[in-house]
Structure 1
Amino acid sequence: MVEPRQRLHPLSPALHGAKSLVVVIAGLSWSTLSRVGFGWFAAMVAVLALGATVLAVVSWFNTGYHVVGRELRVYEGLLWRRTRAIPLERLQAVEVVRPLLAQLTGLAELRLEVVGGGKTEAPLAYLSVADAAALRGRLLALAGTVHPVSPASTPDETPGAAPVPPVGRPLHAVRNQDLLVSQLLTPQAFLLPFGVAFVVAQFLSEGSWSFIAVASTLTAMAGVLLQPVRRVLDDWSFRIGHDGEVLRIRNGLVETRAQTVPLNRVQALGVTWPLLWRMKGWLRLRLEVAGYSAGEADDRNRPDRLLPVGDVATGEMIVAEVLPGVRLGGLPLTPPPPRARWLNPLSRSRLGAGLTDEVFASRSGLLTRQLALVPYARIQSVRVVQGPVQRRLGLATVHADTAGGAGAAAQDRDLAEAWALAAELTARSHASRRIVR
């Protein structure tokens, strides 16, 4: 028996229509208002918004989903009908996302991350919070990665309600004060006062305070600050918990996210020490999960943050939870040979690579230092690459590729060492895959 096809929440067309209304108003712009007058402008907005709402309602009637065996099938399309079948064994992570409009109406959006998808698959927008949480738990259970999700792990249904901690064992909650300070220590925020002083000095010297000049300056400043502000909003009240074989991550202020990541689907783990953060001893952790680590152009759609900001002790604790047996302070990293200075005159001492019993580790970066950790079972391919200068110097770079796309690389190793490292990585990858099976 095949279960009946389910529809999205009846308020979904209204939310899609509201988003279309914002796009319409932005597209018409103030110049249109000045040319046609307020009456005609309002009429144009109303007609276009009504048309968008009608199209959203018709599309809603043709959109549905249901689970068939171990597949989630999503039906959509207005003129061109499309059916997507998503094998649940490829499921990497499931998110319950609540944009501002969804929070006001008690709805949520379900997003799936799958192997090889390149971007978020089959976003179901919108479902009730309870339905989204139940479907998330059911999909993860059918995928064989986790037991059904408890309702306690769902986002709050009422705006402004007290945050609910993740189920399972709480690991860490990022202080919002640290989050704000960390974004003030980014190049954009740190250099902004100097840019403002330069612009004001130019205006005072030239005596030009035209509306266009001031508006252009303010727009440029807003663009510079957009990324730090978005990171603060996205990572507000960031909490992470460990529940059996999965990680539960909740974050967001305007748009809340409740993410469930099976630990056995983590492809790699990245550690970053930004230049200005090192004075406070802070670092950032990110996950590489196949499906969104590199496929999404907008980093807001890549919810790969494992720790937005934290000290070394917190970072080591979380790394040990995700990759048992791995210690950040005890990695056997060795630098490339001295002749690699011809290719990396300043950063050669910061390069390093090494093998532990659990992972392949590589270090890089001069101002912003980075460390990549790849479990052997997640290595998809191993490559030895030589550029023209590397061939003259007898050097090569060894790449360990993962399904997420980033992986890790041992840069500018001695050629004989590079081939030996590639052979060792291949052998350990095969052995780890046999153990996992």
Structure 2
Amino acid sequence: MTTTPAPEGHGTSGFSAPPEEGPAAAGGAAPPGLSAPSERPAAGNGTAEPRRRLHPLSPILHGAKSIAVVVAALSWQTLSQVGLERFALVVVVLALGVVVFSVVNWLTTGYHVVGRELRISDGLIWRRNRAIPLERLQAVELRRPLLAQLTGLAELRLEVVGGSKTEAPLAYLTVRDAAALRERLLALAGRTRAGEAQETAGPQAAAAALERALVRVSNRDLVISQLLTPQAFFLPVGVAFVVLQFVMEAQWTFIGIASTFTAMAGVLLQPVRRVLQDWDFRLARDPGGRLVVRYGLLETRSQIVPLHRVQSVGVTWPLLWRGQRWMHLRLDIAGYAGEQGSDSKRSDRLLPVGEFETARGLVWEVLPGVDLATLATTPPPKRARWLHPFELRYLGAGLAPEVFVSRWGLLTREMSVVPYARLQSVRVIQGPLQRRLGLATVYADTAGGRSGQARDRDLAEAWALAEQLAVRARLARSFTAPPASPEPETFWQRPVQP
């Protein structure tokens, strides 16, 4: 793939905007006297806030997780080779070592808030001190794994601008302390008077604030939706394999039985994991206008997302869900890292499963003024059929008054909705086959890691679309919305007047 240079008169197609970093990107200015971290005043009454430790039960919970990983790493073959007694001795020795290490780590870990920074220090031999500017804070998530739920504790995770992973997770605190610290960090990051008053008033004010419920997903629909997945259809194959093994094998060993059931569990692992993750999914708006997401069964999660951090909304119609007229929505959030190695690295849930009208209302809540039912797109030219012989009719792109819309997919159909104000850059790309056909693809990049794509457009149309995206992005960032057009198919053929 190569990047095609812009022809004369299309200089704006190279539009590039600086990434959003905290409230300053929305027009907020840093308060006077906070130019250097060392000069920032301490929180509270002007005195330095003492360093705080995590909950005393934190070493036990960390040790329990590490011991479970160690036991899982020792295979069934190791157990059969060394015997049960030696295997148990190895586990006990490793467990003692893990507990001692966890206690030392707890003794050397502390955190406190200084000005608008969260400072965390840890390490015994190698001391590490981190200062996290709260103006770069994107979202704060409160997690409660199963052991944390049993002990009344919670883990606090911070997502910051440009982070490839969760920044400085605080595990573990009491639920009350974790919720109070989350509200305090979000209030300081927002730099609002209400937030500063809330910080001095104490955590009870945040707990007493009423939320407006938006949607609650039925657990029945969630389970049925995961049964309507390709993985679930492999269940009969797995059962037939187990029955065949019992018929053909004269005798079964413990290792053989464990391996067979492990293979069967692997077939249904992804649907089961999604059911456990999205169980009792609830979405609400807090009095500050932020999105509050709660979900999970074995591990409950509570996440607060400021709406101005949302970079795009993704809509997906899986093939097997279309009979039920179901769909699911995702949010792309700037700086949201998610789990390492997972497909949620830059996105989060908005609606695990639901009908169109529910999804339409949620999109309106997240992107005010955007109606999912009126987002029109136009297909690529007919000569693009050489590149997409079956999918061409499902490709499209369009410019709505507030967002850039693109759709694609043959079996699983998807749509991306990107607000103009979140665009970071616009690219026009041509591959070798596209050059022969006079086509190009336009990418609208955001800070969330995903791009809106207008695939295989006519070359002149692609440059005109890129220019319109650049103009509309600048207008949106200057709080001037581009005018609507009654003809969606000609949006990018008409210049937008500031």
Instruction: Establish whether TM, by shorter chain, passes 0.5.
Output: yes
TM superposition score normalised by structure 1: 0.91
Match of 1:36 in 2: 82
Paired residue type of 2:184: R
Unmatched 5+ residue regions in structure 1?
A: 155-163
- Does 1:388 find its partner at 2:425? no
TM superposition score normalised by structure 2: 0.80
Instruction: Indicate how the Cα distance of structure 1 residues 224 and 423 shifts in structure 2: closer, same or farther if over 3 A, else same.
Output: same
Match of 1:158 in 2: none
**C-alpha separation in 2, matches of 1:167 and 1:234:** 25
1:81 is displaced (CA, Å) by: 2.0
8 Å contact from structure 2 (residues 212, 285) kept in 1: yes
- Does 1:192 find its partner at 2:235? yes
**C-alpha separation in 1, matches of 2:436 and 2:171:** 56
- Counterparts of residues 146-165 of structure 1 (less than 5 Å): 147=195
8 Å contact from structure 1 (residues 167, 248) kept in 2: no
**C-alpha separation in 1, matches of 2:282 and 2:475:** 35
1:36 is displaced (CA, Å) by: 3.5
1:215 is displaced (CA, Å) by: 4.2
Match of 2:491 in 1: none
- Does 1:278 find its partner at 2:322? yes
1:74 is displaced (CA, Å) by: 1.5
Per-residue Cα deviation, 1:121-159 (whole angstroms, up to 9, x for no partner): 1110001111100110001000117745976987xxxxx
Per-residue Cα deviation, 1:51-74 (whole angstroms, up to 9, x for no partner): 111111111111111112211112
Paired residue type of 1:97: R
8 Å contact from structure 1 (residues 91, 115) kept in 2: yes
| Counterpart pick for 1:54 among 87, 100, 117 | 100
- Counterparts of residues 3-152 of structure 1 (less than 5 Å): 3-144=49-190, 147=195
8 Å contact from structure 2 (residues 291, 305) kept in 1: yes
Instruction: Indicate how the Cα distance of structure 1 residues 387 and 294 shifts in structure 2: closer, same or farther if over 3 A, else same.
Output: farther
**SS in structure 2 at match of 1:117:** coil
| Counterpart pick for 1:324 among 362, 365, 368 | 368
**SS in structure 2 at match of 1:425:** helix
8 Å contact from structure 1 (residues 167, 241) kept in 2: no
1:263 is displaced (CA, Å) by: 0.6
**SS in structure 1 at match of 2:350:** strand
**C-alpha separation in 2, matches of 1:253 and 1:152:** 28
**C-alpha separation in 2, matches of 1:208 and 1:398:** 62
8 Å contact from structure 1 (residues 293, 304) kept in 2: no
1:213 is displaced (CA, Å) by: 5.6
Q: Percent identity?
A: 65
1:298 is displaced (CA, Å) by: 2.2
8 Å contact from structure 1 (residues 251, 257) kept in 2: yes
Unmatched 5+ residue regions in structure 2?
A: 1-46, 481-498
Paired residue type of 2:50: P
Per-residue Cα deviation, 1:337-363 (whole angstroms, up to 9, x for no partner): 101111111111000111111111110
Paired residue type of 1:239: R
Divergent runs of 4+, >6 A: 300-303
8 Å contact from structure 1 (residues 293, 405) kept in 2: no
1:301 is displaced (CA, Å) by: 6.9
**C-alpha separation in 2, matches of 1:429 and 1:74:** 38
**SS in structure 2 at match of 1:298:** coil
8 Å contact from structure 1 (residues 269, 288) kept in 2: yes
8 Å contact from structure 2 (residues 183, 206) kept in 1: no
Higher mean alpha-carbon deviation, 142-151 vs 356-365, is at 142-151
Instruction: Indicate how the Cα distance of structure 1 residues 151 and 285 shifts in structure 2: closer, same or farther if over 3 A, else same.
Output: farther
Root mean square deviation of aligned Cα: 2.3
Instruction: Indicate how the Cα distance of structure 1 residues 24 and 13 shifts in structure 2: closer, same or farther if over 3 A, else same.
Output: same
**SS in structure 1 at match of 2:231:** helix
- Does 1:426 find its partner at 2:470? yes
- Counterparts of residues 300-379 of structure 1 (less than 5 Å): 304-379=348-423
**C-alpha separation in 2, matches of 1:195 and 1:19:** 30
8 Å contact from structure 1 (residues 179, 232) kept in 2: yes
**C-alpha separation in 2, matches of 1:254 and 1:28:** 24
**SS in structure 1 at match of 2:368:** coil
- Does 1:406 find its partner at 2:427? no
1:112 is displaced (CA, Å) by: 1.0
- Counterparts of residues 230-245 of structure 1 (less than 5 Å): 230-243=273-286, 244-245=288-289
**SS in structure 1 at match of 2:380:** coil
**SS in structure 2 at match of 1:304:** strand
8 Å contact from structure 2 (residues 139, 303) kept in 1: yes
**SS in structure 1 at match of 2:75:** helix
Higher mean alpha-carbon deviation, 56-65 vs 36-45, is at 36-45
Per-residue Cα deviation, 1:27-60 (whole angstroms, up to 9, x for no partner): 3333333343333332222221111111111111
1:167 is displaced (CA, Å) by: 4.2
- Does 1:416 find its partner at 2:474? no
**SS in structure 2 at match of 1:410:** strand
1:221 is displaced (CA, Å) by: 1.9
**C-alpha separation in 1, matches of 2:222 and 2:299:** 16
8 Å contact from structure 2 (residues 141, 301) kept in 1: yes
- Choose 1 or 2 for highest CA Rg: 2
**C-alpha separation in 2, matches of 1:274 and 1:421:** 29
- Does 1:252 find its partner at 2:292? no
1:200 is displaced (CA, Å) by: 4.0
1:218 is displaced (CA, Å) by: 2.6
